[in-house]
Amino acid sequence: MTDEKKMPKTPMLDQLETGPWPSFVSGLKRLAKDETKPYSPMMKDLLGQLELSYETRKGYWKGGTVGVIGYGGGVIPRFSEVAEQFPESSEFHTLRIMPPAGMHYTTDVLRKMCDVWEEFGSGLIALHGQSGDIMFQGCSTKNVQPAFDAFNDMGFDMGGAGPALRTSMSCVGHARCEHSCYDEPRAHRTIINEFLDEMHRPAMPYKFKFKFSGCPNDCTNSIQRSDFAVIGMWRDAMKVDQKEVQAFVAEKGRSYVIDNIITRCPTQSLRLSDDDTLEVDNRNCVRCMHCINVMTKALAPGDDRGVSVLLGGKRTLKVGDLMGTVIIPFLPLKTDEDYAHLVDISRRTMEFFMDNALEHERTGEMIERIGLGNVMAGIGLPLDPNMVSHPRTNPYVRMDQWDEAVAEYEEGRKSNAKSNGDQGAKS
C-alpha cells in the first residue's frame, strides 16, 4: 500500500462534478480516495492520466495481448503510453462478461460482482458496453485470470472481442413487454450458447453480431447495430379491442386520434368509423407498431407470431454505415423445432460469412460486394420480393439463366410453404 500517494490535481475533471446528472468523476474519485482498498493507487494514477488527456486532448492507451487460459478473446488489453508518469495504472485491462439476457440482476449477484472487482480490479464497472457486455474496467495483467475465475465460478462467462462472434443483446421483451412476439431471452441464449467456440476462439474474417428485438420498435437497435437482427413479427391480423378503441377516442377526442394515429399510418391502413371503432386493412399493414405504441390498451400484435431476420447492419468503417436488410420475412418461433431452425439458419449464415468474407469485412459489406442473390443462394434461403425496396432499375445484368431462376423461385416457394405451414404460400 502506497500510503504516500497523493490524489492528483484534476482541475478540469473537477468541473464535471457539478450539475444534476450523476458524475463518473465523483465515482472515480471515491475509488481513488478509499485508501483501505487495493485499487486506490491505480485509480489515483488513472485520474492523473485522464486529466492529462483533458489537458492535451489526446488518448494515451495502447492495445496488446492479454487473455485467460483456454480463450483467445474477451479481454480488452490496455497499456498506458504514459506509464512513467502514472505507473500504478500502466495496465488497465477490461474484462467483457456476458450478462443474463435483458440485463436483469439480483442485488445479491451485483454485490458479489462488486466484491470480486474490489479484490482484483479497479472497482470501476460499465453497465453496459455497446455490445451488451458488463465491462469490468481496469485490471492488471496478473489479476485478469483470478478475476475471470471468480466471475466464472459465479456462473458468468467471457464475452466476445476481436474478429469473433460478439456478445449479444435482447430487449426486455417477454419479461415485461406486451409487444413481444417471441421469447427473446430464449433465442438469445440458445443461439449464442450454441456458438461459443466462435466467440471465445476468434477465427472469423471480422466481428459478427446478433441482436434480438421483440417487435419492430427494435429497442436493441438491431437493424443497424448487428449483422444478424432478429426482430419480432406477426403475420395475421393485429388484435383490436373495439371497446378500448372507443374509450380511447372518448378520452382523447376524434381529432387527436385522426391526427396522431389514423393519418400517421404509413400505408393508410387505418380508418376511424362513425361509431368510433377502428377498421384495419391488415393486408397492407406493414407492422410498423405506431398505432399499437399509442393505443397500448386497445391494439396488439396478432397471434401468428415469429421473427423477421435482417442481415448486414454495421457502423461506419469501412464503406459507411449500413442497415441490415431482410433475408427472412417471417419465421415462426414458437416450438422447439422453430428455435432449432433459427439456430440452423444462423449457423449457415456464419459459415457462409467465414468462407466468403474478406479480412476485416462485415456481412453488410460482403453483401454489397457479392450481391444479395449470391448470399441467399449460399446460405440456402429463398428470395422474396419483401427483400427489396423495388426490383432492379438498370438492365446491366446477364439473364440467360432466367428459366433456371424461375424454377428455383418456385421450388423455394414450395419449401417455404412446407416449413412455415400453408399460410405463407397462399398470400
- Of residues 273-292, those binding other proteins (CB under 8 A): 286-290
Please, which of residues 213-232 interact with other proteins by CB under 8 A? 216-225
Binding test (CB under 8 A) with other proteins, winner from 38, 83, 118, 237: 118
Please, which of residues 309-368 interact with other proteins by CB under 8 A? 315-321, 323, 359-360
Minimum CB distance to other proteins smaller for 319 or for 407: 319
Minimum distance of other proteins from residue 254's CB (angstroms): 15
Q: Is 80 among the residues that bind other proteins (CB under 8 A)? A: no
Binding test (CB under 8 A) with other proteins, winner from 9, 58, 243, 414: 58
Which residue is associated with the grid cell 433456371? 404
Provide φ and ψ at 137, rounded to 5°: -100, 120
217: nearest Cα among 184, 249, 179: 179
What letters, b where the CB count within 10 A reaches 16 and e where it falls short, cover 206-217? bbbbbbbbbbbb
CA 153 to chain CA mean position, Å: 26
Find the part of the chain contacting other proteins (CB under 8 A) among 18-26, 337-345, 404-412, 415-423: 18-26
| Residues whose CB is less than 8 angstroms from the CB of residue 250 and which lie 6 or more positions away in sequence, other chains included | 276
Minimum distance of other proteins from residue 322's CB (angstroms): 9
DSSP at 152 = H
Minimum distance of other proteins from residue 50's CB (angstroms): 6
Binding pattern for the stretch 365-404 against other proteins, x by CB under 8 A and - elsewhere: ----------------------------------------
Q: Is 253 among the residues that bind other proteins (CB under 8 A)? A: no
Calpha distance 140→16 (Å, rounded): 27
- Interface with other proteins (CB under 8 A), residue total 125
Minimum CB distance to other proteins smaller for 106 or for 427: 106
Provide φ and ψ at 309, rounded to 5°: -120, 130
Q: Is 98 among the residues that bind other proteins (CB under 8 A)? A: yes
Element (H, E) at 401: none
Which residue is associated with the grid cell 427489396? 388
Q: Is 82 among the residues that bind other proteins (CB under 8 A)? A: no
* Cis? peptide before 318, omega within 30° of 0: yes
